[in-house]
Amino acid sequence: MAIATKTGVTSGKRARTKAANRQAILAAARQVFARIGFDATTIRDIIRETDLAAGTFYNYFRSKEEVFEAIADQSTRRFRPLLQTVREQATSFEEYISAAYRAYFSFLKAQNEEAVRDGAPHMALIGVRVDTPEMHAIFDEIRIDLEEVARTTNISLEDSEFLTAAAIGIAREIGDHMLKRRPADVEGATRFATTLLLDGGKALATYGEKDPAPSAH
């Protein structure tokens, strides 16, 4: 009889298998992408890993690219609550930046380990990298956070959009390089990124000495 809920979701069997099928396709796609890579993957490769028929795929996604985006979207969605926590707990600009980087690098490390466990050859991770609407939402969220934290700490930012872009650029690139170093050092990456974003490269360098002895807390 299918009871309609507030959200418009029905509890009938129809709706349940629909959700299950979607998830099955996404899970299968994850596996196959990890195993043989996005380019080599065909839609039939994906559907073969489920108990569905070829045509059914097209009831859920228009193309391979759309599945990919949906997976990236899932990843991004899982990151947002972490950012939410960071926002709620930060009491200063420094704290926000530091905690946000830590959250991202931890998340990245976890995602990477999961992908490797799933049989990804090496670092073929579908990350929080693709240009999805969800990613744009994160960008705006961070920008607004920065503005807000700056405002409450009586700071004026010159250009919050550029600052956000830079913060994200640093996160992406340092994140990649962090993963290449085994074991991935989340704290080290966090400290570096935070110091750089706040105080710049000069704070990470020492003048007139042979060995570096920077402090960044």
Partner DNA sequence: TACAAAGTTGACGAAGCGTCATGAATTTGT
Partner DNA sequence: ACAAATTCATGACGCTTCGTCAACTTTGTA
Positions touching a second copy (CB under 8 A) are: 39, 65, 97, 150, 154-159, 161-163, 165-166, 168-174, 176-177, 189, 192-193, 195-212, 214
User: Closer to a second copy at the Cβ: 24 or 96?
Assistant: 96
79 in Cβ contact with 104 (< 8 Å): yes
Q: Is 166 in the site for DNA (CB under 7 A)?
A: no
**What residues contact residue 154 under an 8 Å CB cut-off, 6+ apart?**
none
Quote the tokens at residue 8: 């418009």
Tokens read off for 215 = 């402090």
Among 9, 14, 110, 169, the residue binding DNA under the rule CB under 7 A is 14
Q: What are phi and psi of 10, to 5 degrees?
A: -100, 150
Task: Give, in degrees to the nearest 5, the angle at Cα 138 between 135 and 139.
Answer: 90
What's the closest the beta carbon of residue 212 comes to a second copy, in angstroms? 4
Nearest distance in Å: CB 179, DNA: 29
Non-local CB neighbours of 49 within 8 Å, separated by 6+ positions: 28, 31, 32
* Structure-token pair, residue 104: 């991202």
- Of these, 9, 37, 48, 59, which contacts DNA (CB under 7 A)? 59
Binding status of residue 56 toward DNA by CB under 7 A: yes
43, 130, 165, 168: which one binds DNA (CB under 7 A): 43
Q: How far apart are CA 169 and CA 191, in angstroms?
A: 16
Q: Site mask, DNA, residues 62-91, x = CB under 7 A? A: -xx---------------------------
Q: Footprint of DNA on this chain (CB under 7 A)?
A: 1-2, 10, 12-15, 17-18, 21, 42-44, 51-56, 58-59, 63-64
